[in-house]
Amino acid sequence: MIAGARLRPLAALLALGLSSSAIAQSDDWDDWAEESPTQWSGHVEGAYSTRFDRDPLFDDRASRAELKGQVEVSHDLERAQLSAKLDVHADGVEDGLWFDLREAMLSVPVGSRGHARIGRQVLSWGTGDLLFINDRFPKDFETPLVGGEDLYFKAPSNSLRLDWRFDALSVDLAWTPRFTPDRYIDGQRLGFFDARSGERVGGRDLIDAIEPRGGLSGSEWGLRLHRRHEGVEYALYAYRGFDKQPLGADAQGRPSHFRRDSAGFSLRGPVFGGIASFEAGREWSGADLGVESAGVAARVPHKSAAMAAFEKEWRPKLTIGLQLYAERHDSEPGNASPLNGESRQLVSLRITRQALRDRLNLSAILFHSPNQHDRWLRLTASHRLSDQWLLGASANAFGGRVQRFFGQLEDDSNAGVWVRRQF
């Protein structure tokens, strides 16, 4: 149960949301909004998720208990646009009030063919459905696993994005001046398997990773070249940055983010009445964080990955998508990394259904690894009760060996509900 001290920020957020909703409904507000270059929107949401069974690593079965307020604003200038999106969380699991600035960005044209986005933003490339090969931008691997929406898999970063559109080719360049890691599983809300101790750990933040130094040497770059020809989208990708998660250790045995560069390509287009895609990439690492002095035992091996997918609306409002994914880390003689020579295969099946004049949306996605024998089933439902009210539910069921990614989360399998008031 949430203590009384935590209810005060929750109540404040709720009051703010309801009052803003009332203002937004007034005729005066509508008249002003039509004339103003500044547009406001947002919502207030209450959410609760609980584990199926008690996890011995955690005192409470709740994996999510929060009231969240989101405010979104955009302002049109003569030749530019300012936009911002702020989430405010009153969190009953981590016992606090925290802010998540998901967007604070200036969009401006660059010449007659270019466009720049400067500031905090969510970047996303690639073709996968919750699978990422050439999308090397920050992810949130915690929020959706405890009941958050799929869109929260993409995390923000402070970046500059430049896009140019030419007749034969489009060029996208992304630069993140300071390294931004994934929001990975660290034990605070979900348990994980610790290879060093050989057991599952959690109940508090257990990872204090060493991040790359600041300056240009610690920045990240991404390049995408793409075009559309006869309905088919072609893309080439290149990235220079770091592992988004601490997959290795430095000379002192501390978790670290190593240099990680990558290159790849993707194809996407219509096939047999649906949409087919193929994506592949190669990642390789450097040794700029003390790996050389520690020897190859601390190095994360290079990795190759590929994915094929097909999605089709088989019946009106019924869509089925299939993905086949495979990755393999190189086998390096003398490398004691647990990832040395490791391979992983995944098959995913997503079924989505819309009903009640698209007010009801149902989704089920299953990930299964044929060679590592772990799995994740995610069920979501949302029902738009009115223009303002939205009701949702979700369930996440994990299984498999504790040493595998989904298997380590088996005790954290959960189900939850949420309700949202938009304004």
Task: Please report, to the nearest 10 degrees, the dihedral formed by the alpha carbons of residues 270, 222, 88, 130 taken in order.
Answer: 40
CA–CA distance, 289 with 419 (Å, rounded to integer): 45
Looking at 77-137, which runs of residues are DSSP E strands? Answer: 81-91, 96-110, 114-121
CA–CA distance, 110 with 90 (Å, rounded to integer): 40
CA–CA distance, 12 with 67 (Å, rounded to integer): 10
Please report the pLDDT score of residue 218 as a whole number: 87
Q: Are 87 and 70 in contact (CB under 8 A)?
A: yes
Please report the pLDDT score of residue 278 as a whole number: 98
Coil, strand or helix: which one is 10?
A: helix
Q: Widest CA span of the chain, in angstroms?
A: 72
CA–CA distance, 156 with 140 (Å, rounded to integer): 9
pTM value is: 0.87
**Burial class of residue 38 (count of CB atoms within 10 Å of its CB; 0-12, 13-18, 19+):** exposed
CA–CA distance, 212 with 241 (Å, rounded to integer): 10
CATH code of the region 4-422? 2.40.160.10
CA–CA distance, 366 with 214 (Å, rounded to integer): 39
- What DSSP state is assigned to residue 139? B
CA–CA distance, 342 with 299 (Å, rounded to integer): 14
- CA proximity to 139, closest of 223, 24, 240, 245: 245
Coil, strand or helix: which one is 289?
A: coil
- CB atoms inside a 10 Å sphere around CB 159: 24
Q: Are 41 and 69 in contact (CB under 8 A)?
A: no
Coil, strand or helix: which one is 276?
A: strand
**Cα-Cα end-to-end distance for the chain:** 28
Please report the pLDDT score of residue 283 as a whole number: 94
List, as one string, the DSSP characters of 179-224: ----B---SSSS-EEETTTTEEE-SS----PBPPPSSGGG-EEEEE
Please report the pLDDT score of residue 206 as a whole number: 85
220 strand-pairing partners: 176
Please report the pLDDT score of residue 356 as a whole number: 96
Task: Give me the residue label for tokens 């998540």.
Answer: 100
CA–CA distance, 101 with 73 (Å, rounded to integer): 12
**Burial class of residue 332 (count of CB atoms within 10 Å of its CB; 0-12, 13-18, 19+):** middle
Regions of the chain short of the pLDDT cut 50: 1-29, 32, 288-298
Please report the pLDDT score of residue 17 as a whole number: 44
Please report the pLDDT score of residue 257 as a whole number: 87
- Give me 186's structure tokens: 């660290």
- Give me 298's structure tokens: 């601390």
Please report the pLDDT score of residue 286 as a whole number: 56
Task: Give me the residue label for tokens 């003398």.
Answer: 334
CA–CA distance, 396 with 380 (Å, rounded to integer): 9
Please report the pLDDT score of residue 331 as a whole number: 85
